[in-house]
Structure 1
Amino acid sequence: MKHDFDFSNKTVVITGASSGVGKAIALELARYGARLVLAARRKEALEELALECEQLGTEALAVPTDMNAITEIRALAAKAVEFGGSIDAWINNAGVLAAGPVEDVPAEVNEQVIKTNLTGYIHAAHTIIPYFKNQEHGILINNISVGGWFPTPYSAAYTASKFGLCGFSQALKGELHGWDNIHVCDLYPAFLDTPGMQHSANYTGKELKPVPPVYSPQKVAEAVAELIDCPQPQKTVGLTAKLLRLAFLVFPTISRTATVFVIRRYLKRAKAIEYTSGNVLEPVLYGTSAEGGWQKKTGSSSSSVRKGIVVAAAAGLLIGLLLSRSRQHS
């Protein structure tokens, strides 16, 4: 979708900017002239992205930041203000994933998932809200994902972090009631074609391959631009996300059971691999693009965990509706 936004008077901070959705957001906002402050753990990847953004005609500052460290988040905010004069929007996007039975995932990995995905967002809000109140405006965008609505078995810590983000954001919105020019926006994208799966910690012992239905991270980048232009409490990206939310909201037990069945079936057939902590504990050198290339690999769609989850959600809705009708006529 083509827009004619002019963000040349805005300074935007993007966390988790070194790849995936964060990188796509940065390049999208650069086209509209936003001054960008790019944060992630990988210094070289950030500097390369900053150069790309500058080639699109805007200013960009790379600030290597560990979102687990409150001191580094505070330093990031201070550098952003020094760079741009204010912070008009802060995009909480940094996130990690760990897959496997909860007892097989090392305790420190589960803990780090929570710290990055949930505590990191809380620390960022703790840091940025005083800036927003002082300047009497600001937009905080939390990239939560469909995982905030639909639990994923064998990703328990990830699910806990995303469900926690939903509650945190709702509470924060309540605290900011009356601050009409300060907005908290929740973003719920469906499954995305990013390097996230290559980066994930994996203790299933099997190779995971996200394939269609996946969406381009560009769609999320466009949604972020729209939220900066016209803030709203929440925005969903992709029909799949809406389907999953409805399935779990209406028939939680059936949807969860169907999902477990699909995942277990996939894991029995998938290629065996070694356990890995991925990028959860330390950053990795690979996977610095916005897209993961999964949309091009359509040949393996029949073995997709994510496609299976969508099918499970649809099945859950269908079975639940049939059971409901059966009870009404009994």
Structure 2
Amino acid sequence: MGREELRGKVAIVTGASSGVGWQSAVRLAEQGVRLCVTARRLEALENLQAQVLRQGGECLVAPGDVTVQQDVDRVVRACIEFYGRVDLLVNVAAVQSYGFFDDLPWEHLERTFDVNCFGYMRFARAVLPHFRAQRSGHVLNVQSMLSKGGAPLLASYAASKHATLGWAECLELELRGTGIHVSNVLVPSVATPMFDHAPTQFHLAPMPVPPTYEPDVAARAVVRCARRPGRTVVPVFLQGRLILWMDRWVPRVGKWLLGNFGVRMQMREKPVERTEGNLFHPVRQGVGPHGSVPPTPRWKRFTATAGLVALAGGALSGVALGARGLARAVR
């Protein structure tokens, strides 16, 4: 697929009240994309709209809940009535809940799937008739590195992301030859307000699996995907392409790290009582792209990369020695 001109295109961005959704909307507006932004928090969306307008962009605010079909239909209808069309759907809205799988309330598991997976599907089904009528369109899904892996305490989130990526890959095949494209961005841990909103079954504030990146890393990847649709993009090396390579060739390294240290590395030394968070109702805190967890400094990411490469190299050497020993035994 060739490079697409974004100026003048119309995009719906979900989950735009904070984090990657907010920053993606800002970056798309800089490219001349006309925006329809949606999330549950009207005041936060109006703050985003004000920023976009100050920078010379166009932005329609259409609040709604991705788990409510009537809201989804209303948002799409408002966008088309205002701009006359829709060209790009950027699915971003997501929630997560921290806890061991068998301790998580069942309604947390259902709600996580309803937002992270079915929310994407609802919006896709709402825009696809318009895409088909104009013989063009783009469903761009902000996924997660946990769409292809796992982490302790995040069973509901990771499972919903695996399901969403599987759905997106099926949708891409079904839409081949229609002029409608499907893209995915596998986002690493990013320093967004998600971790200030997320419910937890523990008494310590959650934090992302390190290293943590700027939200702009994900937002710029969204813009690249919008320009060149039909791809799955992994925007970083350390918590991206290197992890996927290790999961394929030396999976025991990642399992050893996360199995032994994954729980500890996702908790801050900050007491908190937040069993519901923003899972069922929006909260006032955490507007904008950044949360209270800072990005990991670049030098620490380089150090971690070197350490992981060394671990992977050692594991591969062990596998090679074992294979040679097995070959000698067979002979």
TM-score norm. by structure 2 comes to 0.88
Rate the CA distance shift 1:228–1:266 in 2: closer, same or farther, 3 A.
closer
Rate the CA distance shift 1:158–1:311 in 2: closer, same or farther, 3 A.
farther
Q: Give the CA deviation at 1:267.
A: 6.8
Counterpart residue identity of residue 273, structure 2: E
Given that residues 101 and 204 in structure 1 are in contact (C-alpha distance below 8 angstroms), is that contact kept between their aligned partners in structure 2?
no
Equivalents in 2 of 1:16, 1:260: separation in Å? 31
Rate the CA distance shift 1:212–1:162 in 2: closer, same or farther, 3 A.
closer
Equivalents in 1 of 2:266, 2:222: separation in Å? 34
Q: Give the CA deviation at 1:274.
A: 2.6
Counterpart residue identity of residue 316, structure 2: L
Given that residues 65 and 76 in structure 1 are in contact (C-alpha distance below 8 angstroms), is that contact kept between their aligned partners in structure 2?
yes
Partner of residue 220, structure 1: 218
Counterpart residue identity of residue 243, structure 2: L
Contiguous gaps of at least 5 residues in structure 2: 326-331
Partner of residue 229, structure 1: 227
1:174 aligns with 2:169: no
2:8 aligns to what SS in structure 1?
coil
Counterpart residue identity of residue 193, structure 1: A
Equivalents in 2 of 1:40, 1:31: separation in Å? 21
Partner of residue 67, structure 1: 66
Q: Give the CA deviation at 1:27.
A: 1.1
Contiguous gaps of at least 5 residues in structure 1: none
Give me the identity figure in percent: 29
1:1-330 correspondence to structure 2 within 5 Å: 7-179=6-178, 181-210=179-208, 213-239=211-237, 240-266=239-265, 270-295=269-294, 317-318=312-313, 320-330=315-325
1:143 aligns to what SS in structure 2?
strand
Rate the CA distance shift 1:199–1:136 in 2: closer, same or farther, 3 A.
same
Rate the CA distance shift 1:204–1:247 in 2: closer, same or farther, 3 A.
farther
Q: Deviations over 1:102-146 (max 9, x none)?
A: 122211111101110011111111111111111100011000011
Segment of structure 1 superposing worse, 121-130 or 131-140:
121-130
Equivalents in 2 of 1:156, 1:313: separation in Å? 24
Q: Deviations over 1:187-206 (max 9, x none)?
A: 11211111111111111332
1:222 aligns to what SS in structure 2?
helix
1:65 aligns to what SS in structure 2?
coil
Given that residues 48 and 288 in structure 2 are in contact (C-alpha distance below 8 angstroms), is that contact kept between their aligned partners in structure 1?
no
Q: Deviations over 1:155-185 (max 9, x none)?
A: 1010100111121011111111221x21100
2:234 aligns to what SS in structure 1?
strand
Segment of structure 1 superposing worse, 262-271 or 272-281:
262-271
Given that residues 152 and 259 in structure 2 are in contact (C-alpha distance below 8 angstroms), is that contact kept between their aligned partners in structure 1?
yes
Given that residues 196 and 292 in structure 2 are in contact (C-alpha distance below 8 angstroms), is that contact kept between their aligned partners in structure 1?
no
Equivalents in 1 of 2:264, 2:306: separation in Å? 13
Q: Deviations over 1:70-108 (max 9, x none)?
A: 221111111111111111100000001111101222111
TM-score norm. by structure 1 comes to 0.88
Rate the CA distance shift 1:29–1:269 in 2: closer, same or farther, 3 A.
closer
**Alignment: residue pair count:** 320
Rate the CA distance shift 1:292–1:322 in 2: closer, same or farther, 3 A.
same
2:206 aligns to what SS in structure 1?
coil
Rate the CA distance shift 1:312–1:39 in 2: closer, same or farther, 3 A.
farther
Cα RMSD, aligned residues only: 2.8
